[in-house]
Amino acid sequence: MVIDRISAARGCLERVEADLLLVSNLSNIRYLTGFTGSEALLVLSLDDGWFLTDSRYTSQAGAEVTGAKVVEFSNRMETLVQVLQQPGATRVAFEAGHTSVAAYQELCSKTKGIEYVPADAEMAAIRTVKDAGELDILEEVAAIASQSLLETVARLKPGMTENEVAWALEVAMRERGAEGKSFDFIVASGERGALPHGRASEKRLAAGELVTIDYGAIYRGYCSDETVTVALGEPDSRQREVYETVLAAQRSAMEAVRPGMEFKDLDAVARDFIAAHGFGEFFGHGLGHGVGIDIHEHPTASPRSKHVIREGMVFTIEPGIYIPGWGGVRIEDTVVVEAGGCRCITRVPKELMILK
């Protein structure tokens, strides 16, 4: 499978008419070669490959890397310049979004005669559809996270701080085999629920509040992403109304997923539903995003998205309503696209959990 991925990367050379491909994004390097370290560059031609790393990772690269020869460097830039000066190489595709201005300027100054062309979109595209092995891992990490969340919310009670909730959830994930958390958890209770990215704080949970928890685990290098909103005690009519609106919008979007559909149209399914129920001004972010080695990957589901849904894509569906001074609700699942629709791989039931 790694060799197939390398071949897909080489296809980027043809699409941008380049002689060499320089990969600096460690997530893409891991995807293409299997390398799990933190210092590496990958250079590919149509028929050869060079994996550059320092002495800390030479042995590890020898054991992990497939599809390129390992080259040890003591000076990263000097060795890269040498590798790029292959006979006849005058055009190099690179990841502009993962290259600093300083590094780009230095590279250009030391490789006169080479033209550099961005290949970010082409590189993102090769990871958009997941293979069977990736889907297996994504199901496993989603299960770890979901089970950990259910274990954690059973212990929620007034007086706990949001940080205590986040820590208990992270410990539960670790105990179930997670390598870590895929992002800083959002635990937003009461009025803080109006903050879509309200990281856990020292605020204490109070009876009668809604609590939004956005969380994810990392397992075998892949991420999970899921959001639940729970009620700490019996919810009032306004809380139920907002929750049921978000839940119905999310379910409508999940039911609408079809290969060939544009993501902007999927976003509109949930967005229009929320607007029709009087809450349109309180849903500002996109409907979802891809999930894989990175917590945010292509594709994106938003009103501006230009992506089309394809079988094998994995992405989130996460509508929300955020009302300043009142609070908010977000409900998120991660789905995989299949021939007739989508299948949910996150496992926490989304009917409102009322904790008493």
pLDDT digits (tens, 9 = 90+) for 64-95: 999 999 999 999 999 999 999 999 999 999 99
**In the structure, what pLDDT confidence band is assigned to residue 1 with cuts at 50, 70 and 90?**
very low
Domain boundary among the residues 109, 126, 143 is at 126
- Domain of 83, in residue numbers: 2-126
Domain co-membership, 120 together with 218: no
Burial of 197: CB neighbours in 10 Å, binned 0-12, 13-18, 19+ = exposed
- Per-residue pLDDT, 55: 97
Same domain? 95 vs 175: no
Mean pLDDT of the chain: 97
Do 316 and 213 belong to one domain?
Answer: yes
212 and 86 co-located in one domain: no
Q: Could you tell me the CATH number of the domain that includes residue 299? A: 3.90.230.10
Extract the tokens encoding 140: 């496993």
**Peptide bond preceding 259: is omega within 30 degrees of 0, i.e. cis?**
no
Instruction: Identify whether residues 121 and 198 lie together within a single domain.
Output: no
Domain endpoint, select from 126, 143, 168: 126
Q: Are residues 43 and 155 in the same domain?
A: no
- Is residue 203 located within the same domain as residue 264? yes
Cα separation, 164 vs 142, whole angstroms: 22
Say how far apart CA 228 and CA 36 lie, in whole Å: 31
Same domain? 227 vs 332: yes
**Domain shared by 186 and 328, yes or no:** yes
Percentage of the chain modeled with pLDDT above 90: 98
Q: How many structural domains is the chain composed of? A: 2
In this structure, the dihedral spanned by the alpha carbons of residues 339, 320, 97 and 13, taken in order and rounded to 10 degrees, is 10
Listed residues 73, 103, 126: the one ending a domain? 126
Confidence of residue 245 (pLDDT cuts 50, 70, 90): very high
pLDDT-based confidence at residue 242 (cuts at 50, 70, 90): very high
User: Do 120 and 136 lie in a common domain?
Assistant: no
Q: Is the pLDDT of residue 3 over 80?
A: no
Does residue 250 sit in the same domain as residue 310?
A: yes
Same domain, 323 and 214: yes
CATH of the domain at 48: 3.40.350.10
Q: List pLDDT tens digits, range 92-105.
A: 999 999 999 999 99
Q: What is the mean pLDDT of residues 141-155?
A: 97
* Residue 4: pLDDT band with limits 50, 70, 90: confident
Token pair recorded at residue 252: 């409508």
